[in-house]
Amino acid sequence: MSSAGTDSNDAPIHVPIHPDSQRWSEGYREKAIRKTMENPWVPLGTLITAGTLTMATIRLRQGNSRKFQIWLRYRVAFQAFTIFAVLGGLYKYGQANLEENQKILEQINQQKAEKQLKKERAELEQRIADAAKVHEEEQSLKKPRSEASRGPPAISSPITASQSAPSANTGGSWWNVFGWGRSSNNSDSDSLKKDK
């Protein structure tokens, strides 16, 4: 099944990848390093949150409930800081990725438009070639007719005098059959008789 506007036999469209973008070929370690470099506040907030939780655990084991509560409150504050750092990084780098994705989509749409243009151009050239072929065939069919009319006249059988002109007496004309031409034929024959 193919959706409207797309053919199932179309070649897949190449998705252009920016040469500086390593998102598609990096491993886990490279990705962690890249993410840390992009937004250093998230790993820092995570380490501080883990440190405050560790200190709260130590104070709990010591039995100092007042210091335990203080460290848990610090943990909540640093965890909130970390969450806001994650959200800020998503917004900031999401916008950058959005712009990159928009550029990629523009390139894909441009490739689709070029592909459609090539397809339409090929169809147009095919129609022009077909029209030229039909035109040549028509011209070749017209040439024998025009040459036949220019050439020597066709040989016909000799016509006898009785076949060539209908006589006034027999009424060989359709006009005479209906009675319209009798007077003119009679007057013609009368004028011929007077001239002789």
pLDDT band at 183 (very low <50, low <70, confident <90, very high): low
Least reliable range by pLDDT among 72-76, 104-108, 187-191: 187-191
Residues of the chain with pLDDT > 70: what percent? Answer: 60
Q: Which one-letter DSSP state was computed for residue 153?
A: P
159 pLDDT higher than 60: no
Could you tell me what percent of the chain has a pLDDT over 90? 36
Query: Which are the contacts of 30, defined by CB distance < 8 A and separation ≥ 6?
Result: 22
How far apart CA 164 and CA 149 sit, in angstroms, is 23
CB 2 within 8 A of CB 10: no
Cβ atoms of residues 39 and 89 within 8 Å = yes
CA–CA separation, 107 and 101 (whole Å): 10
Q: What angle do CA 65, 70, 76 make, to 5 degrees?
A: 125
Residue 83 identity: I
pLDDT over 50 at 70, yes or no = yes
- The predicted structure's pLDDT at residue 67: 94
SS3 56: helix
Instruction: Give 24 or 163, the one with higher predicted confidence.
Output: 24
Question: Which of the pair, 32 or 60, is modelled with greater confidence?
Answer: 60
